[in-house]
Protein backbone atom coordinates (compact mmCIF):
# COMPACT_ATOMS: atom_id res chain seq x y z
CA UNK A 1 0.00 0.00 0.00
CA UNK A 2 2.82 2.35 0.85
CA UNK A 3 4.46 1.77 -2.58
CA UNK A 4 1.20 2.52 -4.37
CA UNK A 5 0.81 5.72 -2.39
CA UNK A 6 4.40 6.80 -3.17
CA UNK A 7 3.92 5.96 -6.87
CA UNK A 8 0.68 7.97 -7.04
CA UNK A 9 2.35 10.91 -5.28
CA UNK A 10 5.23 10.89 -7.80
CA UNK A 11 2.78 10.70 -10.70
CA UNK A 12 0.83 13.64 -9.26
CA UNK A 13 4.01 15.74 -8.92
CA UNK A 14 5.05 14.86 -12.48
CA UNK A 15 1.62 15.85 -13.82
CA UNK A 16 1.84 19.17 -11.96
CA UNK A 17 5.33 19.83 -13.31
CA UNK A 18 4.29 18.98 -16.86
CA UNK A 19 1.31 21.31 -16.56
CA UNK A 20 3.50 24.13 -15.26
CA UNK A 21 5.98 23.60 -18.04
CA UNK A 22 3.31 23.79 -20.73
CA UNK A 23 2.03 27.07 -19.35
CA UNK A 24 5.49 28.66 -19.45
CA UNK A 25 6.37 27.91 -23.05
CA UNK A 26 5.94 30.66 -25.56
CA UNK A 27 3.81 30.03 -28.61
CA UNK A 28 5.61 29.08 -31.79
CA UNK A 29 5.31 31.87 -34.33
CA UNK A 30 5.78 31.17 -38.01
CA UNK A 31 9.02 32.75 -39.16
CA UNK A 32 9.13 34.18 -42.66
CA UNK A 33 12.87 34.75 -42.73
CA UNK A 34 16.10 32.79 -42.44
CA UNK A 35 18.81 33.52 -39.89
CA UNK A 36 22.07 34.27 -41.72
CA UNK A 37 25.31 34.24 -39.72
CA UNK A 38 28.45 35.88 -41.09
CA UNK A 39 31.94 34.79 -39.95
CA UNK A 40 35.43 35.47 -41.25
CA UNK A 41 38.79 33.61 -41.18
CA UNK A 42 42.29 34.12 -42.64
CA UNK A 43 45.42 32.33 -43.86
CA UNK A 44 48.45 34.58 -44.61
CA UNK A 45 50.58 34.19 -47.79
CA UNK A 46 53.61 31.87 -47.70
CA UNK A 47 56.72 33.47 -46.20
CA UNK A 48 54.79 36.26 -44.48
CA UNK A 49 54.25 36.36 -40.74
CA UNK A 50 51.42 38.69 -39.82
CA UNK A 51 52.31 40.30 -36.51
CA UNK A 52 49.29 42.62 -36.41
CA UNK A 53 46.44 43.29 -38.84
CA UNK A 54 43.33 45.26 -38.07
CA UNK A 55 40.63 46.52 -40.44
CA UNK A 56 37.07 47.83 -40.22
CA UNK A 57 34.20 46.04 -41.96
CA UNK A 58 31.97 48.98 -42.89
CA UNK A 59 29.30 47.14 -44.89
CA UNK A 60 28.19 43.58 -45.60
CA UNK A 61 25.13 42.92 -47.69
CA UNK A 62 23.40 40.31 -49.82
CA UNK A 63 22.10 41.33 -53.24
CA UNK A 64 18.78 39.69 -54.15
CA UNK A 65 18.43 38.22 -57.64
CA UNK A 66 14.97 39.80 -57.83
CA UNK A 67 16.42 43.31 -58.06
CA UNK A 68 14.99 44.24 -54.64
CA UNK A 69 17.01 46.36 -52.20
CA UNK A 70 20.24 44.94 -50.77
CA UNK A 71 19.96 43.26 -47.36
CA UNK A 72 22.51 44.38 -44.74
CA UNK A 73 24.13 41.70 -42.58
CA UNK A 74 25.47 44.21 -40.04
CA UNK A 75 23.38 45.23 -37.04
CA UNK A 76 22.28 48.84 -37.41
CA UNK A 77 24.80 49.15 -40.27
CA UNK A 78 27.47 49.70 -37.59
CA UNK A 79 31.08 49.04 -38.70
CA UNK A 80 32.89 46.14 -37.01
CA UNK A 81 36.60 46.34 -36.19
CA UNK A 82 38.26 43.04 -37.09
CA UNK A 83 41.57 41.83 -35.68
CA UNK A 84 42.65 39.79 -38.69
CA UNK A 85 45.73 38.50 -36.81
CA UNK A 86 43.44 36.35 -34.67
CA UNK A 87 41.78 34.95 -37.80
CA UNK A 88 44.87 32.84 -38.53
CA UNK A 89 43.88 30.54 -35.64
CA UNK A 90 40.21 31.34 -35.09
CA UNK A 91 37.17 32.41 -37.02
CA UNK A 92 35.45 35.60 -35.91
CA UNK A 93 31.69 35.68 -35.64
CA UNK A 94 30.51 39.00 -37.05
CA UNK A 95 26.71 39.01 -37.00
CA UNK A 96 23.41 37.22 -37.40
CA UNK A 97 20.52 38.87 -39.22
CA UNK A 98 17.05 37.82 -40.30
CA UNK A 99 16.97 37.71 -44.10
CA UNK A 100 13.87 37.09 -46.21
CA UNK A 101 13.80 33.78 -48.03
CA UNK A 102 14.70 33.98 -51.71
CA UNK A 103 17.64 33.82 -54.08
CA UNK A 104 20.67 36.08 -53.60
CA UNK A 105 23.25 36.65 -56.33
CA UNK A 106 26.19 37.98 -54.28
CA UNK A 107 27.70 39.07 -50.98
CA UNK A 108 29.41 42.46 -50.90
CA UNK A 109 31.88 43.46 -48.19
CA UNK A 110 33.36 46.94 -47.71
CA UNK A 111 36.49 47.62 -45.66
CA UNK A 112 38.30 50.72 -44.34
CA UNK A 113 41.18 51.78 -42.07
CA UNK A 114 43.66 48.88 -42.49
CA UNK A 115 46.72 48.67 -40.25
CA UNK A 116 49.19 45.86 -40.91
CA UNK A 117 52.53 44.86 -39.36
CA UNK A 118 54.32 41.93 -41.04
CA UNK A 119 57.63 40.12 -41.10
CA UNK A 120 58.48 39.53 -44.76
CA UNK A 121 60.38 36.24 -45.09
CA UNK A 122 59.07 35.61 -48.61
CA UNK A 123 62.39 36.36 -50.31
CA UNK A 124 60.89 39.25 -52.31
CA UNK A 125 59.59 42.73 -51.59
CA UNK A 126 55.93 43.11 -50.78
CA UNK A 127 54.97 46.65 -51.77
CA UNK A 128 57.41 48.85 -49.87
CA UNK A 129 58.41 46.08 -47.45
CA UNK A 130 61.84 44.62 -48.30
CA UNK A 131 62.53 40.91 -47.86
CA UNK A 132 63.68 40.09 -44.32
CA UNK A 133 62.08 43.20 -42.83
CA UNK A 134 59.40 43.98 -40.27
CA UNK A 135 57.12 46.62 -41.77
CA UNK A 136 54.04 48.59 -40.80
CA UNK A 137 51.72 49.02 -43.76
CA UNK A 138 48.72 51.34 -43.88
CA UNK A 139 47.52 50.94 -47.45
CA UNK A 140 44.95 53.52 -48.49
CA UNK A 141 41.51 52.14 -49.27
CA UNK A 142 39.08 54.10 -51.39
CA UNK A 143 35.49 53.17 -52.13
CA UNK A 144 36.48 51.07 -55.15
CA UNK A 145 39.42 49.10 -53.76
CA UNK A 146 37.84 48.55 -50.34
CA UNK A 147 34.77 46.76 -51.66
CA UNK A 148 34.73 43.08 -52.57
CA UNK A 149 31.78 41.38 -54.23
CA UNK A 150 31.63 37.60 -53.99
CA UNK A 151 29.44 36.11 -56.68
CA UNK A 152 30.94 32.66 -57.33
CA UNK A 153 30.01 29.49 -55.43
CA UNK A 154 27.91 29.28 -53.28
CA UNK A 155 26.12 32.03 -55.23
CA UNK A 156 23.43 32.19 -56.38
CA UNK A 157 22.37 31.30 -52.85
CA UNK A 158 18.79 30.31 -52.14
CA UNK A 159 17.57 30.90 -48.61
CA UNK A 160 14.54 29.02 -47.32
CA UNK A 161 12.24 30.56 -44.74
CA UNK A 162 13.10 29.49 -41.17
CA UNK A 163 16.27 27.65 -42.26
CA UNK A 164 19.44 29.13 -40.73
CA UNK A 165 22.62 29.38 -42.79
CA UNK A 166 26.19 30.39 -42.03
CA UNK A 167 28.56 32.19 -44.40
CA UNK A 168 32.31 31.93 -43.72
CA UNK A 169 34.54 34.37 -45.61
CA UNK A 170 38.24 33.51 -45.88
CA UNK A 171 40.13 36.83 -45.69
CA UNK A 172 43.14 36.07 -47.91
Give the model's pLDDT for residue 14: 26
Instruction: Name the pTM for this structure.
Output: 0.66
Average pLDDT value for residue range 85-110: 88
Model confidence pLDDT, tens digit, residues 110-130:
999 989 899 999 999 888 899
State the virtual CA torsion across 32, 66, 143, 89 in degrees, nearest 10: 50
The length of the chain, given as a count of residues: 172
Residue 48 to residues 62, 79, 105, 139: CA-CA distances in angstroms? 32, 28, 34, 17
pLDDT tens, position by position, 1-42: 333 332 222 222 222 223 333 333 333 334 468 888 888 777
Angstrom CA distances, 7 to 1, 3, 142, 158, stand at 10, 6, 74, 54
Q: What's the confidence (pLDDT) of residue 172? A: 64
Distance CA 149, CA 170 (A): 13
What pLDDT is attached to residue 144?
66
Check whether 51 has a pLDDT greater than 70. yes
Domain limits, the chain? 33-113+144-164
Amino acid sequence: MRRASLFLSLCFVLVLLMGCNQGSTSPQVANSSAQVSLSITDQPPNGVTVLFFQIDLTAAYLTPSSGAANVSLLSNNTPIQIDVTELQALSAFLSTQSVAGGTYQSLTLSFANPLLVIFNASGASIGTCAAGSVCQLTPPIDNNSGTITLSSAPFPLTLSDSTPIGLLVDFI
